[in-house]
Structure 1
Amino acid sequence: MSLATSSVLDVAPPLRRRPALSYELFPARSDAHFVALQETITHLEATQPDYVSVTSRIGQQNLNRVLELTDHVLSCTRLRPLVHLTGLGSTREELAHVVSALLDRGVRGVLALRGDAPPDYQPDEEEFPFGRYVVELIREIEASRSALLAAGRVAIGVAAYPHRHPESPSRQHDIEVLVSKERSGADFAITQVFFDPAVYTDLVRRARRAGLRMPIIPGVIPAVDPHRLRRLAELSGVEAPRDLLHALDSAESEAERRRIGVRFTVDLVRAVLDEGAPGLHLFTFNRHAEALDVLDSLDLDRWSSSLEGAA
């Protein structure tokens, strides 16, 4: 018998890691839309996501609808809401009131954002012009309410930009802003939309070199609707690949267009997961069918992969 011994760790297979799964939802514009949204939520809940994000407008202009959707998620589902909170259009006092209202309802996840400014928007001096200020405010309120939270923490997410932010002087500046959000207390980041996996992996590598430690979750849109993709490009400056748009426009049927878009999206998601992305955030536009088609083609119980620091 050999005197050499081996550790279980030497022969055990790598641990399986289930990537995080989440969806973005918009508050309903009307009671009729809210009924349809509830059906979408039922379908999405069946996939057992880790959370759903609830968007809001700058200044919390649709706060009643945001709270309506949040209350439904909390009381009628097993889902955890990640509620968007935007600094533009709100004073510190107003934001503090919203944070307290969310915590009182049982919300334990907030996506802290500056918010997208309309053209020629001039923020008031009392507004929060940067997302990190929103992060800091949430942490201050959290510290003052530790008894309510049983000394727990609120999970705070922030936005990350694989492409340069439209108002940023450089991509390196975007990284510096992201690092400052983490230092202010952010726990994770969700990216804005992208269509090239190399853009995401480059963002992760540059962020890690700058010292960022928190997870960067890729935000992906099911790329099935060419009109929506073009509208997205107008709003964000991020254009879908021309060959994808051409294929979608040339499809002979809605079913073919959907197959093309789902296949592109699945390939994109697989590529970033294979590179080590810690999860997947799907921008649903309150539609469940395309999101479910993407998930049906994915194996989210994947082996841990090699991109150092992505998770």
Structure 2
Amino acid sequence: MKVTDLINESKKTGFSFEVLPPLKGSSIDRVFKTVDALREFNPLYINITTHRSEYVYKDTPDGLYRRISVRNRPGTVAMAAAIQHKYQINAVPHVICSGFSRSETEYALIDLNFLGICNLLLLRGDKAKHENRFTPDADGHEHAIDLQGQVNNFNEGYFLDGTRMDLVRTPFSYGVAGYPEKHDESPNPDEDLKWLKAKVDSGADYIVTQMFFDNAKYFDFVERCRAIGIHVPIIPGIKPVVVCNQLTVLPKVFHVDMPDTLVTELRKCKDDAAAKEVGVEWCTLQAKELISRGVPSIHFYSMMATESVRKVAKEIY
């Protein structure tokens, strides 16, 4: 079922969360433990992140360095299939522009189609660690809206080269990302919303937001979206703080602000255990207010935070 259908048919605010593929060489069992810890709250779907390859330098016998490409977290498609098969919960793999050619994306879409996985989250993805600005892969897409075009053509039954296919059983439904505090590369909020509307007009069925810690920014974002004609579901994405250094790390990495009240409470924490308690309390308050205001679903960014997400979910679900 499409994510939007799952949300519409749910009798209460939906619950979903995100997992990462295991590091290369690690077992999938840790991912299953995360799902096992959270599945009692009846997740409508589970997102699986996708990670690009990065360049690393390896020593060679002659004392020089050789640059090689390494993908530390492969396996998104296989993990989505494993989760959907094992738990009968809809898997939503991320499909990204960053680090992938259009041909590689086409092969991934073919595999997902064969596996009966029809929900996607389409994203541009992050720039490589060695880049100052985002650069698409050779023959890759520069923007998420370009990736949407490829998926739309696939749904219509066309390969990249324009030839017809006879394999689409269920067309892909997909969501895109939204930024209540604007994308860090966007010059201003209005420009950011202009491109978000273009993505919705190009076929996105829903929006899931970047994490935020101030609900007022989400509510304002929704109002601004509705004012320019964006009427698809806008799913809030939230995350409980779990360690002290996230007070500075999260704003730096994800370009989000933290409210003064939360900052004050986290600065009082003498260790990570105390910070985790504050994080659960704050995230629970966020979730309760979001539910009271009728949000369609809540998406939890659960990396490093499975235990905390479980505590929040027990309070609200």
Instruction: Tell me if TM exceeds 0.5.
Output: yes
DSSP 3-state at the match of 2:122: strand
User: 2: CA distance between counterparts of 1:194 and 1:71?
Assistant: 30
Whether 2:211 is the aligned partner of 1:203: answer no
Among 113, 118, 141, the residue aligned to 1:108: 118
Q: Which of the numbers 104, 112, 123 marks the counterpart of 2:136?
A: 123
For the 8 Å contact 1:201–1:275, the answer to whether it is kept is: no
Select which of 37, 40, 57 maps to 2:31. Answer: 37
| Aligned CA distance change for structure 1 residues 62 and 110 (closer, same or farther; 3 Å) | farther
Kept after mapping to 2: 8 A contact 1:108/1:154: yes
Residues 59 and 86, structure 1, Cα contact 8 Å, conserved in 2: no
Counterpart Cα distance in 1 of 2:181 and 2:193 = 11
**In the TM superposition, what is the alpha-carbon distance from 1:259 to its structure 2 partner?**
2.7
Unaligned runs of 5+ in 2: 1-8, 55-70, 159-164
**Match status 1:250 vs 2:268:** yes
CA-CA distance at 1:125 after TM superposition? 6.1
1:153 to 171, 189, 208: 171
Q: Which moved more, 1:25-34 or 1:259-268?
A: 25-34
Deviations 1:136-161 (A, max 9, x none): 211211221896554x4322010000
Tell me the equivalent position of 2:51.
57
Alignment of 1:132-211 (within 5 A): 132-144=145-157, 148-150=167-169, 152-211=170-229
Distance 2:289 2:180 in 1: 15
Distance 1:212 1:266, change over 3 A: same
Give 3-state SS (helix, strand or coil) of 2:182's partner.
coil
SS at match of 2:180: coil
Matched with 1:4 is none
Q: 1:215 and 2:233 equivalent?
A: yes
Deviation at 1:58, TM superposition (A): 3.3
Q: How far, CA to CA, are the matches of 1:125 and 1:258 in structure 2?
A: 42
| CA positional deviation for 1:167 | 0.6
Name the amino acid aligned to 2:258: A
Paired amino acid for 1:51: Y
Q: Structure 2 CA distance, aligned partners of 1:112 and 1:16?
A: 24
Quickly say closer, same or farther: Cα 1:67–1:229, change in 2 above 3 A.
farther
- The residue aligned with 1:94 is 104
Give 3-state SS (helix, strand or coil) of 1:144's partner: coil
Listed one character per residue, the Cα deviations across residues 136-195 of structure 1 (whole Å, up to 9, x for unaligned) are 211211221896554x43220100000021110111111111111111111001000111
Retained in 1: the 8 A contact 2:157–2:168? no
Once the two structures are superposed, residues 78-112 of structure 1 have per-residue CA deviations (whole angstroms, 9 ceiling, x without a partner) of 21110001112222222111111111122111100
Question: Mean alpha-carbon deviation: is it higher for 285-294 or for 222-231?
Answer: 222-231
Residue 79 of structure 2 aligns to which amino acid in structure 1?
L
SS of corresponding position for 1:211: coil
> Matched residues in 2 for 1:148 and 1:62: separation?
31
Q: Secondary structure at the match of 1:259?
A: helix
Whether the 8 Å CA contact 1:25–1:284 is kept in 2: the answer is: yes
Deviates more, 1:104-113 or 1:88-97: 88-97
Match of 1:274 among 279, 288, 292: 292
Aligned-residue CA RMSD (Å): 2.5
Partner of 1:240: 258
Q: Distance in 2 between matches of 1:164 and 1:214?
A: 18
Letter in 1 for 2:140: E
- Which residue identity lines up with residue 108 of structure 1 in the other structure? C
Count matched residues: 284
Percent identity reads 25
Q: What secondary structure, in the 3-state scheme, does the structure 1 residue paired with 2:50 have? A: coil
Q: Is 2:279 the counterpart of 1:285?
A: no
- Cα distance in 2 for partners of 1:294, 1:129 equals 37
Post-superposition Cα deviations, 1:271-301, rounded to whole Å, max 9, x if no partner, equal 22222321100000054211110011114xx
Q: Counterparts of 1:253 and 1:231 in 2: how far apart (Å)?
A: 16
Distance in 2 (CA, whole Å) between partners of 1:226 and 1:264 is 14
Is the 1:27–1:54 contact (alpha carbons within 8 Å) kept by the matching residues of 2?
Answer: yes
The amino acid across from 2:89 in the alignment is: L
Distance 1:36 1:59, change over 3 A: closer
TM-score, L = length of structure 1: 0.83
